[in-house]
Amino acid sequence: MTELREIDSKWAKKWNRMKIFEADIGDKEKIFATFPFPYMNGPLHLGHAFTSTRVDVWARFKRMQGYNTLFPWAWHITGEPIAGAAKRVAEGDESQIRIFRDIDEVPEEEIKKFISPEYMARYYINDSKKSLIELGHSIDWRREFTTTSLHEQFDRFIEWQYLTLRDKGYVRKGTHPVVWCPNDESPTGDHDRLEGEGASPTEFIILKFEFGDAFLPAATLRPETIFGVTNMWINPDVEYVKINIAGERWIVSREAVPKLKEQKDGVEIISSFMGRELIGKVCREPIKGREIIILPAGFVRPDNATGVVMSVPSHAPYDYMALKDIQENPDEAEKYGITKESLMKIKPISLIKTPEHGEHPAIELVEEMGIENQKDAKLEKATEIIYKQEFYKGILGNITGKYSGLKVNEIKKQLLEDFIALHIADKMYELLEMVRCRCGTTCVVKILKNQWFLNYSNEEWKAKVREALQDIKIYPPEARANFENTIEWLEDKACARKTGLGTLLPWDKEWKVETLSDSTIYMAFYTIAKHLNLEKIPGSKLDRGVFDYIFYGNGNIEELSSKYDINTELLEEMRNEFEYWMPVDLRCSAKELIPNHLTFFIFQHVVLFDRSKWPERIGVNGMMSIEGEKMSKSKGNFITLKKALRENGASVTRASLLYASEGMRDPDWNTKSAKDMEIHLRNLFAMIKDASSLSFRKERKNIDLWLESRLQRHIKNTTDNLEELRTRSALQSGLFDVWRDIRWYLRRDKPEKDMVFEAIEIWVKLFSPYVPAISEEVWGILGKNGFISLAKWPEYNEDKINIKAEAAEDMLSELLSDIKNIIKVAGITPKKIFLYISPEWKWEVLETLSSMSKEKLKNAMKELMKRENLRKHGKEVSGLITYYTRKPERLRFIARIDERAILEEAREFIEREAKAEVEVHLSEDENIYDPAGKSRNAMPMKPAIYLE
RNA sequence: GCUGGGGUGGCCGAGCGGCUAAGGCGGCAGACUCAAGAUCUGCUGGCUCAGUGCCAUCGUGGGUUCGAGUCCCUCCCCCAGCACCA
């Protein structure tokens, strides 16, 4: 058990010492493979290792194919979580400390120092780097860096990126609603929430109804229904206030005030009163100036939007039921001084007609569904149905003026713009569910002003991204739709925030470039990081001019050199390095990053770099689970890479991870499979190690041709699979399928020495990207020089494909299983086995039938009976035709082989396996020994069998 | 809810119009062994049998086709994302 782990460590050290994965500019074609830098608020885990090993396997494969291959690595520390965790350590947060101690395995004395976010990041970086080396990743470590000012040169690079983006017009200042914690004075992302994960601001439209010197601002999601408003709903038993707001006066629920304060200017309370004081009065609808009565409604929630609701009974089931209830019980309304007469005067007003219903869809549906009163739970469903039907299919009526005759979804956007232009509408954002920050405070929606945005909604930009995407190879292909879709819905993206770690926005240093925005084109930075690190170029020298030269070739090199005090050779070398390594050949990540990082990655490349530097391939994979469950620190089923390596070693970890899944499916890690993989690898190693002590045979036989042929197929399969990042299939074919064939080969006969060692050599190469340490060890045992990591990948040679040899082996293995089957069912132990080879004429039937078209097959009998030699076997021919045509696949004719020669050659093998003597006869020979008449059963590729 | 991906034998997973529904794991039996482990071999949906056979099955229910895990529709379930969060 320990042996494999010793091998893993030995080679990890050796690669690292010999620096064989450091890649420099060369004459050879290059490959540049990257993994999205991991976020260092904790150690690497199996999820990271799964994806990164896919990248490493691909890089190793490409390196062996002869490409000059670069696989660099860096670390991400931008943003909140590291800073937040450091703060929690400082506050003595027990659950945070427990995670560091128990899951991350950080020693107590180190945890104390985690009050410094930089220290924490450095600690995890060191820790993780050790794990990656141990895992055997073929990384060029000279190009390592971190984000933020922790790496001053990278900091300058991000400055360059944002200055360039701004100059090109892709960064704009804007205003945007966010979920906001008033206590922290910071946006509250999903990660920072105690409650309300997934909730995002919903845009309510405020329609302003005139009411004395103020407005009653009704909040709605369906502003078009204002044409059908019949009354207002106000909750009589809650407190309302009159406020000043942006130069107007509004009447809203008291709860609405703090929310509006975050969204509008100049909000202050003038007076307050109970809702009942409004009931029975009238307001004025802003479009036509109709008088609208205010009615009491207990269902109006003061904590939702403005607490003012307009009533459109014709198109809103709730409104209809509420109106119906109040009209049927006018006594209640009379308490507020509303006359029965004015109540009964209210009639639903239709403005949308749907194909499913007529003029008053809500009323009709409520009746269809048998809804009794306004407390009925079915109202929710009814509202949903009506909304959908009206939105997609509803036609607006004459009452709506310029919108009439159109569908709701066609005019919604325009209508809103019109209403806002007429100053009759406004917007308010609201959370539809409770959201609470980690600090316990209830969150609200805040309109963040002067926020910096990347203009991802820009249509020209999108068009360019779509164009780039067409040429990017996506593995697996089914992930492509996801990218296409993301491009469609993507809107402007805030690219800076005020808190956490990050590069300062160069022109507005209150802001820091946010985490998804400083991680999009840093692959370009890898190409020069080597020089910046080795030559220790200080960040202060890296002005825009330097980067403009390196990435665009702009400027005069002599002038730049003297201006920034960087010698011309170095500048030139960095430019060459950028030109050589870019574009990125592979970027690989888990599927969760498609809608953000991976798509942004394309966006940024297309505007910052020349077309020739746009990405080549993107790989996507599923999410790691542990023993069938989602991995999480709180569940405690979190497996760090360090722990996995300690328990399994690198080879077992790598192979088990990649054997777990491919494509978009989620891989699962389980201890049992890892143990099984360990057993497999140990056996494999032992088998190869002992191969030289086998006893060998001299002459070549059919089985050697077979193995040679099969190996070629496996080479092709493994290569094709790896090419498209099907890492699981490649492991299957390169390791397990070859193994199976070698086992058959060794079982069939004594091995021929050259053949078996050729097979082993190919085999080891095919699986070496997966278990590189074991492969290096075997490579030495085989007496090879140098590293297998740098050896030549086997090349597929079609000339070695031998269909006849393969057909012959197929025949033998089927024959053997038939014999064993007969022995079993007959319950006899044969001393002798008689095999009868198919007569010539049966071959003729097979060959003829297999060459016939479907239609011709119907008249096959007629055709065949034209032939003299077949006519005498008429009955049997007809039987054969039935046999073959019933399952047309049987007609797949592979190759005519010399069955007799094959059987004679394999006689010993059959005798050994069946433990009986074997005699081979041609069934058409006269006077053969055939007491049971079995020879009649002989068919091409299927000798008849008689046992005695 | 919306968008995208997916549901295959005891389990993991190939297959994406017609090869035998690959391969692995687990289980059972045999060989080897003093024994255990490892290894090797066979079996592992049902029935039948001196073999080349029949039936069933690929989330559910329909449909297209000479033929369907494979294509189309209905429904159910799982995964990811839904943004200022890494």
* A260-311 pLDDT tens trace: 998 998 899 999 999 999 999 999 999 999 999 999 998 898 988 899 999 9
Distance CA A315, CA A227 (A): 11
- Mean pLDDT of the region A399-421: 85
Distance CA A300, CA A307 (A): 6
CB A204 within 8 A of CB A271: no
Q: Which residue is nearest to nucleotide B23 (CA to C1')?
A: A732
Q: Is the CB of A910 under 7 A from strand B?
A: no
Least confident of A117-131, A289-303, A364-378, A723-737: A364-378
Residue A942's pLDDT band, with cuts at 50, 70 and 90, is: confident
Least confident of A94-98, A335-339, A699-703, A880-884: A880-884
Residue A628's pLDDT band, with cuts at 50, 70 and 90, is: confident
Distance CA A641, CA A44 (A): 6
Q: In angstroms, how far is B14 C1' from A491 CA?
A: 40
Q: Which residues contact A89 (CB under 8 A, 6 or more apart)?
A: A96, A97, A100, A111, A112, A114, A115, A120
- Mean pLDDT of the region A596-617: 96
CB-based burial label for A74 (10 Å; 0-12, 13-18, 19+): buried
- Mean pLDDT of the region A416-425: 90
Q: In angstroms, how far is B73 C1' from A536 CA?
A: 65
- Mean pLDDT of the region A538-565: 96
Residue A1's pLDDT band, with cuts at 50, 70 and 90, is: very low
Q: Is the CB of A887 under 7 A from strand B?
A: yes
- Cis upstream peptide for A236 (omega within 30°): no
The reported pTM is: 0.86
Nucleotides on chain B that have an atom closer than 7 A to a protein CB are 3-6, 12-15, 18-20, 22-26, 38-43, 49-54, 79-86
CB A332 within 8 A of CB A378: no
- Mean pLDDT of the region A408-432: 86
Q: Is the CB of A472 under 7 A from strand B?
A: no
Q: Which residues contact A806 (CB under 8 A, 6 or more apart)?
A: A706, A709, A710, A894
What per-residue confidence (pLDDT) applies to A156?
97
What per-residue confidence (pLDDT) applies to A940?
82
* A897-911 pLDDT tens trace: 888 888 888 888 888
CB < 7 A to strand B: residues 694-733, chain A:
728-729, 732
Q: Which residues contact A686 (CB under 8 A, 6 or more apart)?
A: none
Least confident of A74-88, A666-680, A869-883: A869-883
Checking if the pLDDT of A184 tops 80, the result is: no
Token code pair at residue A271: 């007076």
Q: Is the CB of A827 under 7 A from strand B?
A: no
* Type of residue found at A702: N
Q: In angstroms, how far is B57 C1' from A155 CA?
A: 60
Q: Which residue is nearest to nucleotide B2 (CA to C1')?
A: A489
Residue A894's pLDDT band, with cuts at 50, 70 and 90, is: low
- Mean pLDDT of the region A708-726: 90
Q: In angstroms, how far is B16 C1' from A69 CA?
A: 34
* A738-782 pLDDT tens trace: 888 888 888 888 889 999 999 999 999 999 999 999 999 999 999
Angle among Cα A890, A893, A897 to the nearest 5 degrees reads 120
Checking if the pLDDT of A854 tops 70, the result is: no
Which of the nucleotides lies closest to A192 (Cα–C1')?
A: B85
The torsion angles phi and psi of A617, rounded to 5 degrees, stand at -140, 145
Q: Is the CB of A653 under 7 A from strand B?
A: no
In eight-state DSSP terms, residue A698 is -
Mean pLDDT over each residue of chain A, to the nearest integer: 89
- Mean pLDDT of the region A199-219: 90
What per-residue confidence (pLDDT) applies to A333?
86
Checking if the pLDDT of A213 tops 50, the result is: yes
